[in-house]
Structure 1
Amino acid sequence: MLYPRGAQLIDKPIWITIPAGPFCMGSDPRDAAPPFANERPQQQLALAAFRISRVPITNQQYQRFVLATRHPAPGHWLDGQPTAGTEQFPVTYISWNDAQAFCAWAGVRLPSEAEWEKAARSEDGRWWPWGDALPDGTRCHFNGQAQGVAPASQSVLPVGTFPLGASAYGVLDLAGNVWEWTNSLFRRYPYRPDDGRESLSAPGTRVVRGGSYNHDLRQIRCAARDEMVAGARDVYIGFRVAATDAQSETQSDLRLDWVTIPAGSFLLGSGPPSARSAVLPSELPQHTLEVAEFRLAQTPVTNREYAAFVQATGHPAPAHWFADALPPSLAQHPVTHVDWYDAQAFCRWAGVRLPTEAEWEKAARGPLSKTGGAAIYPWGNAPPDRTRLNYRRTGKRTSTTPVDHYPRGATPYGVLDMAGNVWEWVSSAYAPYPYTAADGRENAQTNVQRVLRGGSFASPSADFVRCAMRSLSYPTRRREHIGFRVAQ
């Protein structure tokens, strides 16, 4: 499944498939529950199949993201952790930007408001997710009332508390408890997905759906919509996630060899220059960094693996493929001529993500040594040679070699090809050290220079293949010596 693989969640969500087809979006003025003006005109809208999480994202799930990325924790958590006993409550005090950062990490996305509404009301145009019967405390948490909860209770409740409130598809918690961010900009109806309202970068308020525990029956209808600025956070704002059904189905055919990188500290960057190694200003200051456990692909993504993505999605093939077809002789070579956006598109399809540059460097150099030092190269401090890596190649026949061609170049964790062959895109924007994930460098929405790691076959000296070496380029760059690997 897409989401659990991409995010390593403790509590794996249940996906609900929403079938392709039309549904009735918006409200008719003649409805018994009077609509708001922003719900008109009502329209028939056809959507492709997609998947949506059965319940909103929980504190427990969001905590994994915070630990893995150092993204700021919600403001009401204590010492960066949710209060004991609230692990299965929907995460709140989440802005639209926070939700998008979670999605970029987890390899998922926010639903559009059209997808959200179809998941809630199905094809029959019902007023509330369970049908047309009036809401009560057995079906949802609204107006501060829920069965078994004191009247005027002003607090969220655990996800999945109201199975009687399920939609026709079996999706829960679509009415009350917490407002849910959608991807969509707030614009007038009729809804058109191609009019710019689904742009991730366009300015404007974003649509929230579902109402919350302190809203009345009119505001928790399937068609009710409200707007908030993307930076808004509140005790009753959360989110759930979605995935394109074709992506979720196709990615299961992809088989990658994973290496688990344990949680712990390591040295990021370089110390003072020495006779054995050059040091660039971008690698300073060296500092100790704690990284949560993650998994990294043992080798870069190959042409064969990338071809499955191209075939499944119609994404443009790398420019050097002949007639958009995979060159058979290069099937096990790392894919190249891919920019950062291509790599991100692959990740969304495969339910994975790019590693941060901190994760990449930890996987390359290993944990702190007993003396507190750090290896210069993935295999240690011995000088590079061509039994360990593909580098210092020149001339017209210069090329990549197959992945895992150099087992003697393995890192202490068993990761291969982290020096030479191809530079590897990471998720991180280039910013000076010390590394802090919360300073915006892991924001996937910014069009800034991104970090490349590892050196390539064309790297002219050992300095370029050191674990600490950082290169950078604008995310649209595509070259024969640039590829990527993926993480979970």
Structure 2
Amino acid sequence: MAEIADSHEKDMVEIKGGVYILGSERGNYDERPVRKVQLETFWIDKHEVTCAQYQRFLEDVRKHGHLWCHLSEPANKDHTPFHTYAWALKFSWVGGQPPRGMGNFPVVLTDWYDAYAYAKWAGKRLPSEDEWEAAARGGDGREYPWGNTFSQDRCNIGDQPLAVGSFPDGVSPWGVFDMAGNAAEWTTTAYEPRPADSKLFTGRFGLPIIRGGSWDDNSKTCRSAARDVRRSPLYRSTTVGFRCVSDKEPWLLVPGVR
């Protein structure tokens, strides 16, 4: 199986187990109420998954088949990031190759099944929305990863995605990059109007939640508690990518093992 050489691949941050303040009274109705949630220790990718990393996953799928794919995904699904819309061609892959010069950009045009399969291939999984929010906010329930006041100098809200880690002043309290803007991110939580009612997305019923806002969003949707974006698991967009988490220490992970 493919060997991981990219420094980002095992560059993960430990999120300590404990009680976290999630939700917001100042956002949409589906962010309420503010609540305390107990989480176990986990590790999260410091950066969004890049095109270069995703390319190695695609190579393994082509060599070994759909070993890491969700049982509910369409048969013989193509995991190549691609969309036929004209506005998406700039970010679409051709012949298994990412767009030129975007190797260190977050991989976008990936649907939920693509993200799930990559995470499993990497020996990881997708985060729940609670895990994602805790990694973005830290333990004090702040509005944005860097504090309570929005700053466009701390996140990528602009014309297109940028290389991961381009906004070091916007890291979360844990040191996680791009949790606001750049690419919005898939989670493994199925949407319910009340956060406490949300369940694991099984790949069949419900709509998985997308977190974090993107380069095409605004200060409201880039808040760490914002959770009003949910889509079909087959949804692909130039604004949506993902990152992974692990219940094990990163140095124990073996990519490519089923």
Fold agreement, TM-score > 0.5? yes
Deviation at 1:79, TM superposition (A): 2.2
How far does residue 84 in structure 1 lie from its aligned partner after superposition?
A: 2.1
Query: Quick one: distance in 2 between partners of 1:199 and 1:92?
Result: 21
Partner of 2:69: none
Q: Give CA deviations for 1:444-482 in whole Å, capped at 9, x if unaligned.
A: xxxxxxxxxxxxxxxxxxxxxxxxxxxxxxxxxxxxxxx
TM-score normalised by the chain length of structure 1: 0.45
The alignment status of 1:72 with 2:79, answered yes or no, reads yes
Alignment of 1:8-27 (within 5 A): 8-13=3-8, 14-27=11-24
Aligned match for 1:119, one of 135, 138, 151 = 135
CA contact under 8 A between 1:7 and 1:105: conserved in structure 2? no
1:58 is matched with 50
Given that residues 90 and 238 in structure 1 are in contact (C-alpha distance below 8 angstroms), is that contact kept between their aligned partners in structure 2?
Answer: yes
Q: SS at 2:249's partner residue?
A: helix
Of 101, 121, 130, the match for 2:117:
101
Give 3-state SS (helix, strand or coil) of 1:234's partner: coil
Change in CA separation of 1:118 and 1:55 when aligned onto 2, cut-off 3 Å: same
> How much has 1:202 moved relative to structure 2?
4.0
Q: CA RMSD in A?
A: 1.8
CA contact (8 A) 1:42 1:190 kept: no
Which residue of structure 1 aligns with residue 210 of structure 2?
A: 208
Map residues 30-49 of structure 1 onto 2, 5 A cutoff. Answer: 34-49=26-41
Please say if residues 25 and 42 of structure 1, whose CA atoms lie closer than 8 Å, have aligned partners that are also in contact.
Answer: yes
> Does the Cα contact within 8 Å between 1:212 and 1:220 map onto a contact in 2?
yes
Displacement of 1:104 in angstroms is 1.8
Superposed displacement of residue 8, structure 1:
2.4
What is the alpha-carbon distance in structure 2 between the residues aligned to residue 202 and residue 80 of structure 1? 28
Residue 228 of structure 1, aligned match among 228, 231, 238: 231
Does the CA-based 8 Å contact 2:201-2:207 persist in structure 1? Answer: no
Please state whether the residue corresponding to 1:124 is helix, strand or coil: coil
Q: How many residues align?
A: 231
The amino acid across from 2:134 in the alignment is K
Q: Given the superposition, is the C-alpha separation of residues 215 and 10 from structure 1 closer, same or farther in structure 2, using an over 3 Å criterion?
A: same
* Large movers: runs of 4+ above 3 Å: 350-354
Provide the residue aligned with 1:163 in structure 2.
Answer: 168
| 1:242 counterpart = 2:257 | no
Q: TM-score, normalised by structure 2?
A: 0.84
Equivalent of residue 131 in structure 1, options 147, 154, 163: 147
Q: SS of the counterpart of 1:207?
A: strand
Identity of aligned residues (%): 37
Amino acid at match of 1:16: V
The offset of 1:214, in angstroms, is 1.5
Q: CA deviation at 1:16?
A: 0.3
Q: Which gives a bigger RCO, structure 1 or 2 (Cα 8 Å, sep 6+)? A: 2
Shift of 1:248: 2.1
> Structure 1: where are the runs of 5+ without partners?
1-5, 29-33, 145-153, 253-349, 355-426, 428-488
